[in-house]
Amino acid sequence: MSNQLHINTEERLEQLANTIESGSLYQLQRMINAMHPAEIAHLLESSPPSRRRLLWELVDPENEGEVLIELGDEVRASLVDEMETGDVLEAVKGLDIDDMADFLQSLPDKLTEETLEGMNRQQRRRVEQVLAYDEDTAAGMMDTEVITIRTNVPVDVVLRYLRLQDELPSHTDNLFVIDKYEKYLGILPIIKLLTSQPDDRVEDIMNTDHPAIPADMSSTEVASLFEDRNLISAPVVDNDGKLIGRITVDDVLDVIRDESEHSMMSMAGLNEEEDLFAPVGSSVKRRALWLGTNLLTAFLAAWVIDQFSTTIESAIALAVLMGIVPSMGGIAGSQTLTLVIRGLALGQIGKGNTTSLLFKEVMLGFINGLIWAVVVFGISTIAFHDTSIGIVIALAMLLNLLIAPLTGVLLPILLRKLNIDPALAGSVILTTVTDIVGYTAVLGLATLLLPYIRSLLG
Amino acid sequence: MSNQLHINTEERLEQLANTIESGSLYQLQRMINAMHPAEIAHLLESSPPSRRRLLWELVDPENEGEVLIELGDEVRASLVDEMETGDVLEAVKGLDIDDMADFLQSLPDKLTEETLEGMNRQQRRRVEQVLAYDEDTAAGMMDTEVITIRTNVPVDVVLRYLRLQDELPSHTDNLFVIDKYEKYLGILPIIKLLTSQPDDRVEDIMNTDHPAIPADMSSTEVASLFEDRNLISAPVVDNDGKLIGRITVDDVLDVIRDESEHSMMSMAGLNEEEDLFAPVGSSVKRRALWLGTNLLTAFLAAWVIDQFSTTIESAIALAVLMGIVPSMGGIAGSQTLTLVIRGLALGQIGKGNTTSLLFKEVMLGFINGLIWAVVVFGISTIAFHDTSIGIVIALAMLLNLLIAPLTGVLLPILLRKLNIDPALAGSVILTTVTDIVGYTAVLGLATLLLPYIRSLLG
């Protein structure tokens, strides 16, 4: 690791492409292994499969574990798939317990077992302890390497004990104070150790209001706790208040990154771990499912239109202009949906404020509906020389711009109650609603009103 | 701040609603001021305007600064708007320099100046130093309170110096080593201080390979550096290598959260700082702009359809089924677009791999196009009894599912080159392309092929 700052991946990619072209394998190998594991991981993720395999073979075996840990699940699985079990074992040996657990969770069961069997007893016990918990809970994120101390020890003894350690676990900003039953009592900030007198006792200088995280707290809540309280590390306790591990801020960074990406990717029917260069075979299946679902929606809309084919035949301008209504509904609905999905993810929406939110969004829809209804009426009349259809389209759009925010607020809340991910299912269902309401409104209104309006307009 | 863990905001909202209903203002005030500032901020963000104002008035003046800092820009501005200048000054007084700079940046210029004038000289100089830099750079994120030491000092002197400090700046995991010209030389981890001998000199135990961040590095790059290297704090240096401040991981958390949300919100034409309960007036303007842009697209599509009205008149089933083609193109294109926007944000896409990505995505489009073309043909024939139009729709869809991923890959890359945010402009332009290509393909093919196919089918 050099003092030189990592340059950004794009420049790195270009440098790499040049090195590959120049044909010097030795130079390539030197270049890769001078990089930080996280940078190697970025590079692998940014490389198409064939180049990725070549690069991976050039990575020093001693770096393999650190690189694997930094990779997205999908890319990691594709590389591990082609490794010998022995090499996998070798690669994970030096990892932190929480990283090791993460890694093992992404392996096929057989490989997980083989890897566990290859570990020494203490390591295995520790990893299994973390594996026993759900990945998305505090305990599933925690590291079990923790420095603990007792209340009645004086500062100079603590200092002497620390000097005996080869190296402290990374991100050790606090020592954890426990009683004889391993119950968590508080923290002793390292900084406090520096500014205390040698004969001060731990109990006199410890901090008892540092939050302890229950083992089953969800990783989302852990992340917001770290964000809110600006924590670097926090103790994890079991139901009896016994200290079982600690969570550090670097793991929280990952949770925040994953969470925010999850919503965005899910709304397009993608997985947040999706490999940019996933093999076509596995991608086709996922994408096909999403397209197929949307095709159903499209055919449903077609069926609605079909019910009104006589109306369309009598006024072909309807065929030209009717698409505007569902399209605007879809856009307006997606805005509300996105806002609500984010609000739900941040825990900002609950019983106490749904009504206010609904009122605000529908109000917005109404005002925008009025504005654009007038515009639509104007353009239809001037550009398409059809006043009567302009009236119908304008009315239908106003209606759809009321239904869209209503759906955008209520649908994700309902889906969450049903334990369905609103980010994944929300946009498809919303578009189905706005399409069907949109087409039904414009064609239904046309069927009802056109003869009447036309007779009025003479 | 109590040892009791913060409960999640949803439960809090309900509790709050109950307390408000019960009518005890005193109880409400006690409940609020027992909360952590970040929790109060969550609560304010989750409250409709009228309730928000009430709650804000109940917040202890000494907590106001910390709460304001935790709020999104929009909510913060709405509260500050109604405060007296003197109160604003009082509120920010106790904040860290970087928080203060953040806060001042979100105020109107006049208020910023008044607040700066109210500060003491040293504080003002420090804040102005940070304000001089762009908010989205390393220097704009940094804190200027840094503990520095020189190389030739022995450990026991450093320890004595630290004991003299009332309190060390938060997140102090390292001391920064500088020379007599204030040039950054390396770090001295606090932990190292604990495990060293009293007469060890700083130069012998300091770490010289800790990255120093140039003042003009973008906040995105700072964030990925922290993520990659698992940093808690890092020094910021100017062009001459002089130490000018430090960045801590808590600020990086905010950048990561904002960044990921930025893409998702922008894709729906929303601002990531958007207040869930923004007043209808200001929301209408923003939403109207987005809807208006999309209305243009919809009318463009209508114009395309209008060019083929004779064809539609001769085969009304076209009006029923034609919408399927642009709809599927839009969905497929959005998937590619989302993947590429994320890839660009993570720096995974560059010259070296665009071709591979393009090939993979178009290949996916082709395979999916084939699959769904067959299905569309089948359904059109069976459900809508129209083989000839089934052929036309299937062909048009295959074509659109090739154009969609092509646009999804190239468009965001092009937009980025033009310095236009792909997340904001990408989806509108993409839909315009897939709509126009879709309708032109289905109606153009129908005009060209229908007479021919029909004569063939007899």
Closest C-alpha to B6, from A221, A350, A140: A221
Q: Is residue B140 part of a domain?
A: no
Query: Ranked by mean pLDDT, which of A251-260, A431-440, B82-91, B352-361 comes out on top?
Result: A431-440
- pLDDT on residue A9: 58
Residue numbers in B near A261 (CB within 8 A): 260, 342
User: Does B367 reach chain A within 8 Å, measured CB to CB?
Assistant: yes
Strands B243-248 and B233-237: antiparallel
pLDDT given for residue A7 in this prediction: 52
Closest chain B CA to residue A184 = B3
Q: Which domain holds residue B251?
A: 148-267
Residues from chain A that touch B17, judged by Cβ atoms under 8 A, are 351-352
A410 and A295 assigned to the same domain: yes
Interface test with A, best of B51, B191, B397 (most A CBs within 10 A): B191
Residues in Cβ contact with A437 at an 8 Å cutoff, skipping those fewer than 6 apart: A326, A329, A399, A400, A403
Contact (Cβ atoms closer than 8 angstroms) between residue A427 and residue A341: no
Instruction: State both tokens at B365.
Output: 């489009």
Q: What is the per-residue pLDDT across A148-168, written as a single tens digit (0 to 9) for each?
A: 999 999 998 998 888 887 677
Residue B2 lies in a domain: no
Contact residues, chain A, for B351 at CB < 8 Å? 10, 13-14, 17
Look over chain A and give the mean of its residue pLDDT values, rounded to a whole number.
Answer: 88
Cβ-based contacts of A324 with chain B (< 8 Å) = 295, 298-299, 302
* Residues of B whose CB is below 8 A from A175: none
Of A39, A259, A270, which is closest to B228 when you measure between CB atoms?
A: A39
pLDDT in the model for residue A398: 96
| A315 DSSP assignment | -
User: Residue A6 pLDDT > 50, yes or no?
Assistant: no
Min Cα–Cα distance to chain B from A296, Å = 10
B59 contact partners, CB below 8 Å, separation of at least 6: B32, B33, B40, B67
In whole angstroms, give the CA distance from residue A406 to residue B114: 44
Q: Measure the CA–CA gap between A374 and A363, rounded to whole angstroms.
A: 17
A147–B contact, CB cutoff 8 A: no
- At residue B6, the 3 state secondary structure works out as coil
Chain A CA closest to residue B171: A232
Both tokens of residue A120? 């020494």
Q: Tell me the chain B residues in contact with residue A211 when contact means C-beta distances shorter than 8 Å.
A: 3, 5-6
**Buried residues in A424-445 as b, exposed as e (16+ CB within 10 A):** bbbbbbbbbbbbbbbbbbbbbb
Residues A426-455, mean pLDDT to the nearest whole number: 93
Tens-place pLDDT, residues A263-300: 889 988 888 888 888 888 888 888 899 999 999 999 99
pLDDT at A126 over 90: no
Measured between CA atoms, how close is B110 to chain A, in angstroms?
30
Residue in B168, B211, B252 closest to A3 by CB: B211
**What pLDDT shows up at residue B3?**
40
From chain A, pick out residues whose CB is under 8 angstroms from the CB of B352: 13-14, 16-17, 46
* Final residue in a domain of this structure, among B134, B157, B179: B134
Does B3 map to a domain? no
The first and second tokens of residue A9, run together, are 């991946």
Same domain, B262 and B362: no
| Structure tokens that stand for A199 in this block | 């004969």
Yes or no, beta carbons of A260 and B265 under 8 Å apart:
no
Q: How confident is the model at residue A1 (pLDDT cuts 50, 70, 90)?
A: very low
Q: DSSP per residue over B378-435, as a string? A: HHHHHHH--HHHHHHHHHHHHHHHHHHHHHHHHHHHHHHHTT--HHHHHHHHHHHHHH
- Partners of A209 on chain B (C-beta within 8 Å) are 1-3
Name the band, by pLDDT with cuts 50, 70 and 90, for residue A46: confident
For residue A315, give the CATH number of its domain: 1.10.357.20
Q: Are strands A213-214 and A184-189 parallel, antiparallel or unpaired?
A: unpaired
As a 3-state breakdown, chain A gives helix, strand, coil percent values, each rounded to 5, of: 65, 10, 25
B43-60: string of b/e by CB count within 10 Å (b at 16+)? bbbbbbeebbeebbeebe
Residues A355 and A376 sit within 8 Å (Cβ to Cβ): no
Same domain as B434, residue B303: yes
Q: Read off the DSSP letter of residue A3.
A: S
Strands B213-214 and B174-178: unpaired
Q: Are residues B320 and B416 in the same domain?
A: yes
Same domain, B128 and B243: no
> DSSP 3-state helix, strand, coil percentages of chain B (rounded to 5)?
65, 5, 25
Most B CBs within 10 Å, among A304, A316, A379, to test the B interface: A316
**Mean pLDDT by groups of 10 residues along chain B of 458 residues:** 49 72 80 86 87 89 89 87 83 82 80 81 84 88 89 90 79 90 92 84 90 91 90 92 93 87 88 83 87 93 94 92 94 94 87 89 94 94 86 95 96 94 91 96 95 83
- How far is the C-alpha of A337 from the C-alpha of A331, rounded, in Å? 10
Q: Are residues B35 and B108 in the same domain?
A: yes
CA gap A344, A411 in Å, rounded: 12
Whole-angstrom Cα distance, residue B262 to residue B274? 10
Distances A410 to A182, A297, A349 between C-alpha atoms, Å: 47, 20, 11
Q: Nearest CA to CA, how far is A330 from chain B (Å)?
A: 10
| Interchain contact, A347 vs B274, CB within 8 Å | no
- B110 and B166, same domain (yes or no): no
Task: Select from B243, B267, B291 the last residue of a domain.
Answer: B267
Question: Which of B232, B265, B299 is facing A232, going by the closest CB pair?
Answer: B232
Q: Does A307 touch chain B if contact means CB atoms closer than 8 Å?
A: no
Q: Which residues of chain A make contact with B324, given a CB cutoff of 8 A? A: 295, 298-299, 302
Q: What is the mean pLDDT of residues A382-391?
A: 87
The β-bridge relationship of strands B243-248 and B174-178 is unpaired
| Rg of chain B on CA atoms, in Å | 30
Residue B152 distance to chain A (closest CA, Å): 20
Least Cα separation, residue A148 to chain B (angstroms):
16
Q: What is the pLDDT at residue B6?
A: 46
Q: What is the 3-state secondary structure (H, E, C) of A231-259?
A: CCEEEEECCCCEEEEEEEHHHHHHHHHHH
Tally C-beta pairs within 8 A across A and B. Answer: 385
String of b and e for A106-120 (b: at least 16 CB within 10 Å)? Answer: bbeeebbeebbebbe
Are A253 and B227 an interchain contact pair (Cβ–Cβ within 8 Å)?
A: yes
Whether A352 and B14 lie within 8 Å, measured CB to CB:
yes
Flag whether residue A301 sits within 8 Å of chain B, measured between CB atoms.
yes
Which CATH number fits the domain that encloses residue A168?
3.10.580.10
Q: Say whether A287 and B332 touch across the interface (CB within 8 A).
A: yes
Contacts of B232 in chain A (CB under 8 A): 171, 173, 232, 249
Establish if B16 touches chain A: CB-CB under 8 angstroms: yes
- Co-location of B232 and B332 in the same domain: no
CA distance B92 to B114: 12
Establish if A162 touches chain B: CB-CB under 8 angstroms: yes
- Which chain B residues are closer than 8 Å to A230 by Cβ? 170-171, 250
A421 within a domain of the structure (yes/no): yes
Kindly identify which residue of chain B lies nearest to residue A289, measuring between CA atoms: B368
Task: Give the whole-angstrom CA distance, residue A215 versus residue A235.
Answer: 10
* B366–chain A Cβ distance below 8 A for any pair: no
H-type helices in B196-323, by residue range?
Answer: 202-205, 219-229, 249-267, 280-306, 309-314, 317-321
Contacts of A372 in chain B (CB under 8 A): 288, 291-292, 295
A173 half-sphere exposure, CB direction, 13 A CA radius: 21
Instruction: Identify the residue with better confidence: A185 or B51.
Output: A185
Given B105, B134, B163, the domain boundary residue is B134
| Binding-face residues of A in 223-252 toward B, CB within 8 A | 225-230, 232, 249-250, 252
Q: Is residue B4 part of a domain?
A: no
pLDDT surpassing 60 at residue A89: yes
Whether B284 and B188 share a structural domain: no
CATH number, domain with residue B118: 1.25.60.10
Question: Residue A393 corresponds to which amino acid?
Answer: I
**In B135-171, which positions are buried (b, 16+ CB within 10 angstroms) versus exposed (e)?**
eebbbbbbbbebbebebeebbebbeeebeeeeebbeb
Tokens of B306: 């209008």
CB-CB: which of A13, A232, A270 is closest to B352? A13
Q: Which residues contact B262 (CB under 8 A, 6 or more apart)?
A: B272, B423
Burial of A181 (0-12, 13-18, 19+ CB in 10 A): exposed
**Separation between Cα atoms, residue B132 and residue A228, nearest integer Å:** 28
Q: Which of residues 380-409 of B touch A (CB under 8 A)?
A: 383-384
**Minimum Cα–Cα distance from A49: chain B residue:** B356
Confidence grade of residue A2 (pLDDT, cut at 50, 70, 90)? very low
Q: Is A185 in the same domain as A312?
A: no
Please write down the long-range contacts of B313-318, taking CB distance under 8 Å and 24 or more positions apart. Answer: B313/A316, B314/B450, B315/B389, B315/B446, B315/B450, B316/A309, B316/A312, B316/A313, B316/A319, B317/A309, B317/B384, B317/B386, B317/B389, B318/A319, B318/B389, B318/B392, B318/B442, B318/B443, B318/B446
Is B276–A343 a contact, with Cβ atoms under 8 angstroms apart? yes
Question: What pLDDT was estimated at residue A324?
Answer: 94
pLDDT at A340: 94
A349/A392 same-domain check: yes
The number of CA neighbours under 13 Å toward the Cβ of B232 is 20
Compute CA distances B257 → A187, A346, B260, whole Å: 28, 11, 6
User: Is A189 at the interface with chain B, CB within 8 A?
Assistant: no
User: Is residue A4 in a domain?
Assistant: no
HSE of A208, CA atoms in CB hemisphere, 13 A: 9
- pLDDT value of residue B9: 58
What's the token pair of residue A68? 């694997």
In B, minimum Cα distance to A264 occurs at B264
Q: Retrieve residue B386's tokens.
A: 């129209």
What is the pLDDT at residue B4?
44
Q: Is B22 on the interface with A (CB under 8 A)?
A: no
In-domain check, residue B453: yes
B13 touching A, CB under 8 A?
yes
Q: Is residue A123 part of a domain?
A: yes
Predicted pLDDT at A10: 64
Q: Which tokens belong to A38?
A: 């996280």
Structure tokens at B62: 């000494």
pLDDT (0 to 100) of residue B162? 85
Quick one: A117 and A78 in the same domain?
yes
Q: What's the structural domain count of chain A?
A: 3
Instruction: Tell me the one-letter amino acid at A212.
Output: A
Check A288 against B368: CB less than 8 A apart.
yes
* Burial class of B398 by CB neighbour count within 10 A (0 to 12, 13 to 18, 19+): buried
B31 and chain A in contact, CB less than 8 A: no
**Sheet containing B243-248, strands listed edge to edge, beginning at the edge strand earlier in sequence:** B213-214, B233-237, B243-248
